[in-house]
Structure 1
Amino acid sequence: MRIKRMRTSGIPTSGGGGLTLSLIITLLLISGCGFQLRGALDIPSEYSPVFIQSGGPVGTAMEERLQGGGLSMTQVAAQAGLIVRVLGQQRSSRVVAVDSSGKALAYEQVYTVTFDALGAQGQVLLPPQSMSAARTFDDNPDVAVLGKQLESEIIYQDLVSDVAERVLLRVRAALTPKAP
């Protein structure tokens, strides 16, 4: 009669409570310091529903961000408790590095949005201001033109998303009551 040996993984199965305890302590410390996941955007409830007045990509990005955070949106400004208006958008690009023959080696893309925020009765909650984001990317001569255009478009979408997030954070900061 042959006896078969069973292999074990070498990982102890008892005493694993230390890992669980340290995980719980870490989570408590993180939540105690005020940390919030990026998805949590707290607009005070008296400003709900929100209306985004924009005809461009940053308005769409803000709407998606607010809806993803569970905030109530409206398509009618007269029904809104908060109106975020995108007053202007500008996309620009410039050369930031050249080689010895004057050929561009790197570009910077900049996306700027001018916005304000109004209350339900049209009162100014946040005066007009601008928010910008910029990214630099290398111009690799080994990459085809279509690849460069795709990279440029991806960077632009990232800039739009970044500016939308920052605009909403600025609006939230203006609406949040200041601690005494």
Structure 2
Amino acid sequence: MRLLRPFLVLLLTVWLSACGWQLRGATQTPSLDTVTLKGASAQLRYPLEDKLEDEGVLVHNESPYILVIEDEDWSRRTAAVDDQGRQAEIELRYQIVWHLESRDSGALLTAPKRLMALRSFAWYPDNATASSDEEQLVREDLYDDIIVRLINQLAAATQGWEVN
């Protein structure tokens, strides 16, 4: 019995690491020294720049690599109604399409990829101020989620590249 417990802990640890699980918000580091951002809204661009720089990727306009945000799209819909037919739950969907290209040749270094994040939250018609504040917090959470996933995809796309 004494040997079984450490063995189970070791087995669970190996299994958990093998499944690809990682903490939410944990990012991988892209194999780039620098990158230029093009096409992102200010709400996406500035936190993305900060997160990239935290990962050791300098963001400036003379990089040999350009991270292009081709499209950003927000959609908002009623996910549930109350017994009076009023909105009771809102669903926000945020998606982007991105690719990486070479500054010198303009060639695509990655195919365009779509990222989508979705959140629902309660909407209280009798307290519109609090509900709109909640919506703003959910939007910020969606930006954060997309940024982490974008950096992870960028890291996976540049894995094995020689750093320039």
The reply to whether residue 149 of structure 1 matches residue 132 of structure 2 is yes
Identity of aligned residues (%): 21
Q: Number of aligned pairs?
A: 143
Contact map agreement 1:82 1:117 (CA 8 A) in 2: yes
Q: Deviations over 1:9-34 (max 9, x none)?
A: xxxxxxxxxxxxxxxxx9xx89xx59
* Residue type of the alignment partner of 2:145: D
The answer for the alignment partner of 2:116 in structure 1 is 132
TM-score normalised by the chain length of structure 1: 0.69
3-state SS of paired residue (2:58): coil
Q: How does 1:108-119 map to 2 (within 5 A)?
A: 108-119=91-102
Q: Kindly tell me: are residues 72 and 39 of structure 1, through their superposed partners in 2, closer, same or farther at Cα, counting changes over 3 Å?
A: farther
TM-score normalised by the chain length of structure 2: 0.75
**1: distance between equivalents of 2:79 and 2:40?**
30
| Larger CA Rg, structure 1 vs 2 | 1
| Higher RCO (CA < 8 A, seq sep 6+) | 2
Per the TM alignment, residue 133 of structure 1 is displaced from its structure 2 partner at its CA by 0.5
The reply to whether residue 99 of structure 1 matches residue 82 of structure 2 is yes
**2: distance between equivalents of 1:55 and 1:40?**
20
3-state SS of paired residue (1:127): coil
3-state SS of paired residue (1:126): coil
Q: Kindly tell me: are residues 40 and 156 of structure 1, through their superposed partners in 2, closer, same or farther at Cα, counting changes over 3 Å?
A: closer
RMSD, matched Cα: 2.6
* Residue type of the alignment partner of 1:51: T
Per the TM alignment, residue 172 of structure 1 is displaced from its structure 2 partner at its CA by 1.4
Q: Kindly tell me: are residues 83 and 141 of structure 1, through their superposed partners in 2, closer, same or farther at Cα, counting changes over 3 Å?
A: same
Q: Deviations over 1:87-141 (max 9, x none)?
A: 1111111011113332221110111111111134322111222211011001134
Per the TM alignment, residue 36 of structure 1 is displaced from its structure 2 partner at its CA by 7.8
Q: Structure 1: state its 5+ residue gaps.
A: 1-25
Q: Structure 2: state its 5+ residue gaps.
A: 1-9
**4+ residue runs of structure 1 moved beyond 4 angstroms?**
33-40
The reply to whether residue 42 of structure 1 matches residue 29 of structure 2 is yes
The answer for the alignment partner of 2:141 in structure 1 is 158
